[in-house]
Structure 1
Amino acid sequence: MNLAAPFVRRPIAAILLGLALLGAGLYAYRLLPVAALPRVEFPVVLVSAQLPGASPETMASAVATPLIREFAAIPSLQATSATNTTGTSAITLEFALHRDIDAAASDVQAALARAQRHLPTEMLTAPTYRKFNPADAPVLLVALTSQGLPLSQLDGVTRTVLSPALSALPGVGQIVLHGSQKRAVRIRLDPRAMVGRDLAPDAIEQAIRAANAQTPVGTLIDAERRAALRSPTQFEDAAGFRDLIVATRGGRPVRLGDFASVVDSVEDDQSGSWLDGEPALVLAVHREAGSSAVAVSDAVRRALPRLRADLGGNAALTIVNDHSGAIREGVADVLVTLAATSALVVLVIHLFGGGLGTTLIAGLAVPLSVAGTFAAMHGLGFSLNTITLLALTLSVGLVVDDAIVMLEGFQHHRESGLGPVDAALRGASEMAFTIVSVTVSLIAAFIPVLFMGGIVGRIFHEFAVTVCVALAISALVSLTLTPALASLLRGTPRRTRARDAHARLLAHYGRSLDWSLRHRSVIVLLFLATLGEPPRSVAPYRAGSCLRRI
């Protein structure tokens, strides 16, 4: 059965097939995301628990230990690590690579619900969790600074204006705020003043909670209207807390400001971010799964002028680090290498191909195979990264082999006197099995990489798939378009100096091979001689001579 016969007899169909591959590849190339490396999902879940004011030892024993005890029952959990600081516990859960991250997050949520009854009742908020990918570095770091506004006010603007605006951009997955300066009132008690007024910390805490609680008061209803009552009990700044009456001694009210220092501050005054020595808030922009880091960077850069105008002249937005720059340069370098490799391959084909028409037909296998691979990459959810482009660069030398084999069979029959169509049919029938077998053999060589486990296997999975797809498309092009275009060639193949030199080299190789077959014993002795190591004379060195040589 001649697989190429229908296309040789209908070359328009083969040409349309090639154009379809080229169009699909060009369309897919514009949609492919650009990244530094293939996306590798590491099933990691971060758990955060807060107990304000608790020491690291208390957080480890009262909060982290009950949580870790519940997490230990989750299947496929490989490693657990906890970091305890004042008032905060951060627990990292690393699962096996085969574990689905969504299923692992559901198990973590169930474990947090079971551990709730073992946690301290003083915890104001329940522990939270989020999925985390250590390989997903932020694309951009944007710093927010201001000359006239305090960071606590900028923090509110960041949470209500900047983060939602950046999160709404296409391709942006998450905005993480570093150096948060959320506004808060800090109360520092004076123990001596408290003893003199016979006050205990627990009583002061209860008084602050009761005075700062916001609870519904009730509703007024008449025949025509209904109004909800609201009592403004929450204090907005430190001045309100200073006047808070916490107790009565000797018929006189004792206010919080009489025995404590009450100041407007931030929730965490032990950490922060700076830009060129100036306090700043840093927003880390992460891309969502499957999006292009370059597209996210371009979208954020286009949005920054509008956001600067919304913030006013006192605030400044500065891009501190743009990870997409290195991605652009790396991908551009590999694309240049891919283009240079393709040009060299076409040049070699031209030197030994016998004519411009043969060169063009064989050279078409490279762009069509690459274009078809782009379309397959888009369908498989791959990205343009260093690994996949390296696979395409490696495939350039492989994909053109099928076309060369097909054209060699065609030229052989043309030199024998057959017409273009008959030569194409005869050559395709003889070379089809060779092309299929060689393609299957090359794909089989990458099967171990396809099924390689671990992190390295996940990184090089796209490499192996890309090479296999390029080889399969090359075989398709060589069995359809190449013989169809060859059947349209007119005239006898032109002999070039390179082909004549190649013929002389081949004749010399044939004579040397005949001589080697007639003198097998000599060839075997020469082979055995190459396996031995020649003797070396090593003269003894005295210590002084060694030192002089050094």
Structure 2
Amino acid sequence: MNISEVSIRRGITFFMIYILIAGAGLFGLSQLKIDLFPEMDFPVVAILTTYQGVGPEDIENVLTRPLEEAVISVEGVEQVSSISRTGVSVILVEFTWGTDINVGENNIRKNIDLVRDYLPTDASEPITIAFNPSMQPILILNVSSDDLGDVELNQVLTEQVQPRLERQEGVASVSVSGGTEREIQILIDPYRLAANKLSMDQIKSAVGMANLDIPGGLLEEGRNEFTVITETRFNNVEDIRNVTVGYSPTGKPVYLKNVAEVVDGYKEMTQIVRNNRENSIVISVSKQSDANTVNACNNIIDYLPILEDQIGNDVSFNVIFNQADFIEKSVQNLSSTAILAFIMSALVLFFFLRHIVSSLIVAVSIPISKKKFLWPSPLLHLPRCLSLYLFFFFRGYPVCFLMIWL
């Protein structure tokens, strides 16, 4: 007795099994993560190092070459390329396809640590970045305020808005771009510095040591114990001007204001963000790799009115890019195309079979066969794009079998 005879004799049993599988397919479809791009691990790691005020040739000699020699020996590295510019060294490390990019990035960091002591002390710590399409912003917000200037607004966004948005579900990182940032500038007078027999290293060390909270030990009072901290961090520009940077031959203290001018100014603008032909400040939000893009965007947009009330100062957020809109429109177009395809398939089947019941049986098998092959997708952590490949691969088999049987 073959499966065809058993399915005819036990029609109700097989019908219930079929319905159960179709239901599992519906559940699997609802659990699938929706993204604009599939998850891909590109085998590329970038190493970024900055060294302000140094030319391209010196950047190549003191940063790029030592780092290249350190990472070229990492297992799985296929090619290493670099770009040396004024103040910046960028190295791109390409691995062979199939390499675990997380393991490769960790191996690169280990090799960089081996040569870190040979790099200039004034250079920044090398940063490794593994390329991932999910790092692209899923939401970009334009921020404006009638009560705050650019400097104050930028400070509010960095200190208050950014941490709160990063705590939202599915959010990996939040960055603020544009606007003017405050910067305390110390303009050294070389002649007064030489007259007081001081060096730049002494100035740098004195200012750094003065801007610290120094632990003062423990204070015991009865059964209580208190931690004592000496707070010496700068509260204003005048505190910086009055830092003692050395002593004269007569023992008189030399203050920073005696050898330099301290200016409460602005950072040099290296980028300009414009929206509707006007300078603007924008917030870019990137999601976690395993997060649902649509849910993450909707959660943030729902939270924005609450955030505006918490911050005050007439701060308003306007969405200028929302990746969830593209995804939802794509899903709507796919759904409408699927419905149209179902109707056209039913009409074509009726044209050839000339029998309404037989045509409906074959037509109904199309969406059911689609759903029953989607149920293992969440268990196997398949992205929706691969699940659609399975659907298009398998959906034709039930139709062919039913056509032959009918």
Deviation track 1:78-120 (CA, whole Å, cap 9, x = no partner) reads: 3334445555444332322200122112212211221222222
Q: State the alpha-carbon separation in 2 of the partners of residues 201 and 334 from structure 1.
A: 65
1:374 is the counterpart of 2:366: no
Q: Measure how far apart 1:140 and its partner are.
A: 1.0
Corresponding residue SS for 2:335? helix
Does residue 98 (structure 1) correspond to residue 98 (structure 2)? The answer is yes
Give the equivalent residue in structure 2 for 1:346. Answer: 346
Instruction: Specify whether residues 352 and 29 from structure 1 end up closer, same or farther in structure 2 by C-alpha distance, changes over 3 A only.
Output: same
Q: Which segment is superposed worse, 354-363 or 172-181?
A: 172-181
Question: What amino acid is the match of 1:25?
Answer: G
Change in 2 beyond 3 A, CA 1:333/1:223: closer
Conserved 8 A contact 2:373-2:394: no
**Aligned residue number for residue 166 of structure 2:** 167
Instruction: State the 1:32 CA deviation.
Output: 1.6
1:517 alignment counterpart: none
Change (3 A) 1:56 1:30: same
Equivalent residue of 1:216, what SS? strand
Q: What is the TM-score normalised by the length of structure 1? A: 0.65
1:87-126 superposed matches below 5 A: 87-123=87-123, 126=125
Q: CA deviation at 1:312?
A: 1.0
**Structure 1 stretch 284-293 or stretch 338-347: which is displaced more?**
284-293
CA deviation string 1:139-175 (max 9, x = no partner): 1112333333355544454344433433333333333
**Once the two structures are superposed, what CA deviation does each residue of 1:246-304 show, in whole Å capped at 9, x if it has no partner?**
24447555432344332234566433534445554433222322433222222221121
Q: Residue 241 of structure 2 aligns with which residue?
A: 242
**Distance apart, 1:332 and its partner CA:** 2.4
**Preserved CA contact (<8 Å) 1:49 1:90:** yes
> Contact 1:45/1:94 (CA < 8 Å) preserved in 2?
yes
2:206 corresponding residue in structure 1: 207
CA contact (8 A) 2:37 2:133 kept: no
Distance 1:87 1:13 in 2: 73
Per the alignment, residue 131 of structure 1 pairs with 130
Identity of aligned residues (%): 23
- Conserved in 2, the CA contact under 8 Å of 1:38 and 1:382? no
Q: Distance in 1 between matches of 2:253 and 2:37?
A: 67
Counterpart in the other structure of 1:484: none
Q: CA RMSD in A?
A: 3.1
Distance 1:262 1:219, change over 3 A: same
Q: Which runs of 5+ in 1 are unaligned?
A: 408-550
Residue 294 of structure 2: aligned partner: 294
d(CA) in 1 for partners of 2:236, 2:63 = 31
Distance in 1 of aligned mates of 2:202 and 2:215: 24
Instruction: Report the secondary structure of 1:215's partner residue.
Output: strand
Residue in structure 2 matched with residue 41 of structure 1 by the alignment: 41
Structure with higher Rg: it is 1
Give the distance between the partners of 1:79 and 1:316, measured in 2 at CA.
47
User: Retained in 2: the 8 A contact 1:44–1:95?
Assistant: yes
Number of aligned residue pairs: 405
C-alpha change, 1:206 and 1:57, in structure 2 (3 Å) is: farther
Q: Which runs of 5+ in 2 are unaligned?
A: none
More strand by share: 2
State the AA in 2 paired with 1:23: G
Whichever structure has more helix as a proportion of its residues is: 1
> Aligned partners of 1:98 and 1:317: how far apart in 2?
42
AA matched with 1:185? I
In the TM superposition, what whole-angstrom CA distance separates every residue of 1:374-429 from its partner, at most 9, and x where no partner exists?
323333323345x765774686556422211122xxxxxxxxxxxxxxxxxxxxxx
Any conservation in 1 of the 2:134–2:288 contact (CA below 8 Å)?
no
The amino acid of 2:157's aligned partner reads T
Do the aligned residues in 2 keep the contact of 1:51 with 1:87 (CA within 8 Å)? yes
Q: How far, CA to CA, are the matches of 1:174 and 1:382 in structure 2? A: 25
Asked whether 1:227 is paired with 2:239, we answer: no
Structure 1 residues 304 and 94 mapped into 2: Cα distance closer, same or farther (>3 Å)? farther
Distance 1:258 1:181, change over 3 A: same
Residues 92-491 of structure 1 aligned to structure 2 (within 5 Å): 92-123=92-123, 126-134=125-133, 136-179=135-178, 183-249=182-248, 253-265=253-265, 269-276=269-276, 279-385=279-385, 389=388, 392=391, 399-407=398-406
Shift of 1:16: 0.8
| 1: CA distance, partners of 2:164 / 2:37 | 28
| Whole-angstrom distance in 1 between the partners of 2:372 and 2:186 | 67
Please, which moves more after superposition, 176-185 or 280-289?
176-185
- Which residue identity does 1:178 align to in structure 2? S
CA distance in 2, matches of 1:117, 1:4: 74
CA distance in 2, matches of 1:6, 1:181: 76
Q: Deviation of residue 195 (structure 1)?
A: 4.3
For residues 29 and 396 of structure 1, what CA distance do their matches in structure 2 show? 15
Alpha-carbon distance in structure 2 between the residues aligned to 1:210 and 1:271: 32
Q: Which of 140-149 and 393-402 deviates more? A: 393-402
